[in-house]
Structure 1
Amino acid sequence: MAPKKKGTAAIKKTPKRPKGGGGTKAGRPKKQADTVSTTSSTNLQEEPGGGSDEESDNGPYCICRGPDDHRFMISCDVCEDWFHGECIDIAKDVGENLIERFVCPNCTDVENNVVSLFKKICSYGKCVKAARLYGDGEKSAFCSDEHKQLWWEKGIASLPKKSLAKNTQNGLTQEELMALLNSNLAAVDPDDGQWRVQTRPFAPPATGAESPEAKSKTLAPGILTEEEVDILKTSAAERYKMGEEVVLCQKMLQLLDWASDRRKSLIASKHFDDAACGYDDRLDQVGVVGPFANWLHSDEAKEIFKAGSLDVGSRLSGDDKNICDKKRCKAHQGWYSIHTRDVRYQMKLLAMDANKKLDKERLIKQSAAERKLRKEAEKNYVQAVLPDGTLGPPRSA
């Protein structure tokens, strides 16, 4: 080997870190505790006793199967592989601040909801920071109290100071909006959590299980008009009739189940072939409320429901037999499934109609209660002129 010239520098090779022991998948050392990795040339300083780990990290990573070339990278929470932000179209600021869970394209499964989750951004203007909806602190749709205050100031400033201005929105001025915010006419809707103006300003303050309507289900005398009382009585009577029809439908289903069990027992006892029809003539009234209700009052029906079986009055042979023993009978094909489906659909329609009537009754009662509160708030009354020319006692309008 030729001697080294004086004054020249020797090249020192940097040893590579072994890939075994303590490395992540694909032999790559784990970069940080979080899922985002960024490297900079300023951090690639040689440490005593070893070379830079980042300089020799050739991967492969990402969908491009390339090395870690000091670009922004993010780790998949499923396969734990690392991906370049440019290759998966994720900017650095988005990956570092707005991703709650990252799932790479290889692991994404939309049908099983295995997808990336992004954080909701701040509601103020063009701010792209995450809203304070994550963590144990106070929840807010803004990233900071400053942006929340600026959002309110900007919204109020967009309204005119006078009602005759051209930029009036829905007839509200700055003063009117502030008055609305400070009144009891605006509140947070408990159903969706959104702030909104109440459309029923005279609604009873007590709602839910503690309300007087929920406890007694009746209003005090004098609140409902005679017409409203008649409507409520008629509606309640119709709902009661619908309830009786539902009970009849339940008995129809019970009779169908008994007929099906009767057919199975006859097949098991070798009285019928496996392909026998098994339809019972006593099912003819099933699905028709009126005739079925009349049949229930017969002695035969009372005995059947008392015994809990269609064996009562069953006739398998003779001219008066009431059970069909034909094989693959076309006249009664699918009798059990067809009748069951029709009866259940009839029960569904009855329930829907009953709920509509119940909602109408609630609306009438609520409107009557609001009418009473409105009269009390407005203090409207009338006085009749008596025959002697004087005014009579005041009465509510």
Structure 2
Amino acid sequence: MDSNVDEMQLATAELAIAPNALPRATSTQASPLPSLELQQPVPIEVEDPFAVISNNKPSFKYKYPQAAPTPDGEDDTVWNKVYTAADSRMYNKHHKNANESRKYRESGETRVLAIKMLAENKEKYAQAVAAAKASGIPLSAIRSTPKISTPTAGPKKKEIKKEMSSSSRDGTPGGDGIPMSISEKIKSEGRARKALPNPPSSNQGTPAPSTGPKQGTPSAAAKQGTPSSGARINSPAPEKASPVPPLKTPKPAKKGTATTVKKQHAKKAKSDAEKAGTTISKSSSQPSSQMNNTTSDSESNDGGEYCICRGPDDHRMMVYCDGGCEDWYHCSCVGIDEDDAKELLDRFICPKCHKEGELFTTWKRMCRCNNVPTIQCRKAARVAMEPPSKYCSDECAELFWRFVVSRVRTDDAPSLGGALNFKEVGQLLKEAPTAEAFHKLGQKPRLQVKEGADPNRPVGLDYLNEDEKKQIEEIQENKKRLEERIKVHQNQQKLLIMVNDRSKIAAKEPNLEVKDICGFDNRLAMNEEEFDEWFNSEEGKLAFATAKLGPRTEQTKSIGACVPYPGQVVPTPPKVSVALDNICLKPKRRCKHQNWLAIHGTDFVNMQQILKQEMKKLTEAEEEIIEDAELREATKEYYAENETIQLF
């Protein structure tokens, strides 16, 4: 009997201490103990994290397009994570510069690093599997067991022995998170422990107390049902089972031995089992130094920079640019409402990729009820259905027409430019039974183009009377004169450019006493008639043909020259080189031609704008005359059958 008790105590101690690799302690005093069948932990194998589920699947979307294609024999999801982690390393290595990390993605260096990281992860996993086979312990148990740090020979705090506590929490396995001294634990283990109504789950095979730290609950990854962080085994003690006498522990060893293990504080960890109403064991607050062998940088944050703010992915809603930059943007940074992005956004083009008329953000057509003040629906209309609809739902269609009916007047008074009554609405619907006819209500009647006629030629030109024809001829003559004047001012702009270029060349002449000369040429002072005469001369033709202005010739010196009044003394101009002929050589700040370049340039531009506005008015007057002639012909039959009384 004594041998059976010793074996039972030895087995109990092994189960309580083995998970933490503590030295085995045997009891010196034996007590009667009934035989008890111990529940062993069920081995749970861990799925291969590198199992190939899909390889280069067409519908798979990589975070970075440069990650494609997935190497042969690798899973798309695993490769995408490893490639993202490799890009994160490149990003952090180069001072968190997104442009540098993009450059290494394009050059292929990130892909080489990702392949190397993947091989390292596989090697670590193979070593973990080999260690599990050699020890005979399931891989899941090895990966879920926290690593106990070996005590060093350095200074150690003295353990304070406390007197026996009368608190009821000492009899509860795990207590309430308050550490106990060695004496308290020994004394507390001498009492029979009451079974809890809802015993906590644990990774142990028996609910007997353990002198080592408790096994931790599954990590955050297990909340989603992933067994990578270690499977959890719940082994609650039966409520009506007879209490098992605790194993008596020898007195605490001397300082420096590994038998004394300080109990850690405990904290609660939420999981899916807790949400379902299942009580789980508390996890130790001591951090586990043994990491998952297959855990790599692919599980960490990529540390990338996104959007125009160059911020991280901070869980705000983001939109993807379809313009080619392959970047994501926060809706709040680009001025897009999140609800509109979900319902109405068709294609987003970021400000960097935007091209006027080519690449721009497009939106889906909004529901027609958006115009109803009491509804203001901001969902997409069902334009793709057969037949197309302007409403997002049948409910919105009914609400819209109820709103339209509410705007119709119920009295019989005639409308004087305001809301219509039911009788008038009925007459309109009778005259325009289709949507196309309803849209044409209020438009000017048009004549159809005759067969064989030019479709771009206005139909009203065939119905002009004599007065209207004369008006059209006068307008066309005025338009020709305006076009000629506009052409003159455009040529004067070209002359201004040539004068400025010639003055810059003249300023480099070595014989000049003044370095900063005025450079004005009196050919800029010519009016439109004088300029037209000079433009048609040999000097002007040569200048505009070569885009290079030369000196004044004897033939054109009289054009634009000042005529002296009788008795006025005209000074003789000094003799200069050909490059300086007809150029003002006075200092720029002491000359009367100050800012001549800006003044003449602004004058030529303003004159062209004024002439173009006059041209626009003449064009509108011409179109109005032609439209009146067409309208007169189109309504000829109507006025023949109806009397029109002129009241003013």
TM normalised by structure 1 equals 0.60
Confirm or deny: 8 A CA contact 1:185 1:197 kept in the other structure: no
> What is the deviation of 1:244?
0.4
2:317 maps to what in 1?
76
Instruction: Write the deviation string for residues 152-203 of structure 1: whole angstroms up to 9, x where unpaired.
Output: 24423643566338x99836333432442464699679xxxxx866443323
Cα 1:125–1:337 change in 2 (3 A) is closer
- Residues 381, 163 of structure 1: CA spacing in aligned structure 2 closer, same or farther, 3 A cutoff? closer
> 1:283 aligns to what?
524
| Contact 1:185/1:198, CA 8 A, preserved across alignment | no
User: What one-letter code is carried by the residue in structure 2 that aligns with 1:318?
Assistant: K
**What is residue 496 of structure 2 aligned with on the other side?**
256
Matched with 2:400 is: 151
1:236 corresponds to 2:476:
yes
1:246 CA displacement: 0.9
Deviations 1:355-375 (A, max 9, x none): 111011111111210111001
Deviation at 1:146, TM superposition (A): 3.6
Cα offset, 1:42, TM superposition: 12
Deviation at 1:256, TM superposition (A): 1.1
The corresponding residue for 1:87 is: none
Q: Give secondary structure in 2 for the equivalent of 1:203.
A: coil
User: Structure 1 residues 344, 220: closer, same or farther in 2, change over 3 A?
Assistant: closer
Alignment map for 1:101-250 (pairs within 5 Å): 122-123=369-370, 126-127=374-375, 129-133=377-381, 137=385, 140-156=389-405, 158-160=407-409, 163-164=412-413, 170=418, 172-181=420-429, 183=431, 198-204=441-447, 215-217=456-458, 219-221=460-462, 223-250=463-490
Query: Do the aligned partners of 1:15 and 1:50 also contact (CA within 8 Å) in 2?
Result: no
Contact residue 228 and residue 364 of structure 1 kept, 8 A: yes
Confirm or deny: 8 A CA contact 1:161 1:174 kept in the other structure. yes
Q: Distance in 1 between matches of 2:508 and 2:631?
A: 66
Distance 2:582 2:329 in 1: 71
C-alpha spacing 1:46/1:262, structure 2 compared with 1 (3 Å)? farther
Name the counterpart of 2:220: 17
Q: CA deviation at 1:271?
A: 5.6
1:110-135 residue CA offsets vs partner (Å, 9 max, x unmatched): xx9xxxx9995644564465433488
1:333 and 2:598 aligned? no
CA distance in 2, matches of 1:231, 1:290: 27
**Residue ranges of structure 1 left out of the alignment (5+ in a row):** 24-40, 52-73, 84-89, 102-108, 190-194, 383-397
Q: Which amino acid aligns with 1:369?
A: E
Shift of 1:381: 10
Q: Report the Cα offset of residue 237 of structure 1.
A: 0.9
2:552 maps to which residue?
A: 313
Aligned to 2:275: 44
What SS is found at the alignment partner of 1:215? coil
Q: For 1:243, what is the secondary structure of its paired residue?
A: helix
User: CA contact under 8 A between 1:239 and 1:354: conserved in structure 2?
Assistant: yes
Aligned residue number for residue 34 of structure 1: none
Relative contact order higher in (CA < 8 Å, ≥ 6 apart): 2
CA contact (8 A) 2:519 2:584 kept: yes
Q: Deviations over 1:98-118 (max 9, x none)?
A: 6869xxxxxxx9xx9xxxx99
- 1:40-79 alpha-carbon deviations (Å, 9 max, x no partner): x99932699999xxxxxxxxxxxxxxxxxxxxxx843178
Corresponding residue for residue 622 of structure 2: 361
Greater Rg by CA: 2
Cα 1:212–1:275 change in 2 (3 A) is farther
SS in 1 for 2:588: coil
| Residue identity matched to 1:334 | N
Verify the 8 A CA contact 1:163 1:173 in the aligned structure 2: yes
Distance 1:160 1:129, change over 3 A: closer
Query: Cα distance 1:6–1:259, how it changes in 2: closer, same or farther (>3 A)?
Result: closer
Q: How many aligned positions are there? A: 311
CA RMSD of aligned residues (A): 5.2
Q: Select between 302-311 and 364-373 the one with higher mean Cα deviation.
A: 302-311
Q: Check 1:237–1:48 CA distance in 2 against 1; reply closer, same or farther (3 A cut).
A: farther
Distance in 2 between the 1:302 and 1:168 partners? Answer: 66
1:296 and 2:545 are equivalent in the alignment: no
| Corresponding residue of 2:582 | 322
Answer whether contact 2:518 2:588 (CA < 8 A) is retained: yes
SS at structure 1 position matched to 2:456: helix
Contact 1:260 1:336 in 2 (8 A): yes
CA separation of 1:368 and 1:15: change in aligned 2, threshold 3 A:
same
- Aligned counterparts of 1:168 and 1:341: Cα–Cα separation in 2: 51
Distance 1:180 1:302, change over 3 A: same
* C-alpha spacing 1:279/1:168, structure 2 compared with 1 (3 Å): closer
Asked if structure 2 preserves the Cα contact closer than 8 Å seen for 1:132 and 1:140, the reply is: no
Contact 1:131–1:140 (Cα < 8 Å) also in 2: no
Counterpart of 1:237 in structure 2: which amino acid?
Answer: E
> Contact between 1:157 and 1:174, CA under 8 Å: does it hold in 2?
no
Q: CA deviation at 1:336?
A: 1.9
Residue type of the partner of 2:317? Answer: C
CA contact (8 A) 1:159 1:173 kept: yes
Q: Partners in 1 of 2:274 and 2:427 — Cα distance?
A: 58
Whole-angstrom CA distance in 1 between matches of 2:503 and 2:486 = 26
**1:158 to 1:200, Cα distance in 2 relative to 1, 3 A:** closer
* Unpaired segments ≥5 residues, structure 2: 1-184, 203-216, 227-271, 283-314, 320-327, 355-362, 555-572, 644-648
In the other structure, the counterpart of 1:375 is: 636
Is the 2:198–2:279 Cα contact (8 Å) retained in structure 1? no
1:12: how far off? Answer: 4.3
Q: Report the 3-state secondary structure (helix = DSSP H, G, I; strand = E; otherwise coil) of the residue aligned with 1:132.
A: coil
For the residue of structure 1 that corresponds to 2:552, the secondary structure is coil
Question: Hey, what's the Cα distance between the residues in 2 that align with 1:347 and 1:80?
Answer: 45
Q: 1:345 & 1:377 partners in 2: Cα distance?
A: 48
Seen in structure 2, the aligned counterparts of structure 1 residues 50 and 265 have a Cα distance that, compared at 3 Å, is farther
Identity percentage of aligned residues: 19
Change (3 A) 1:128 1:374: closer
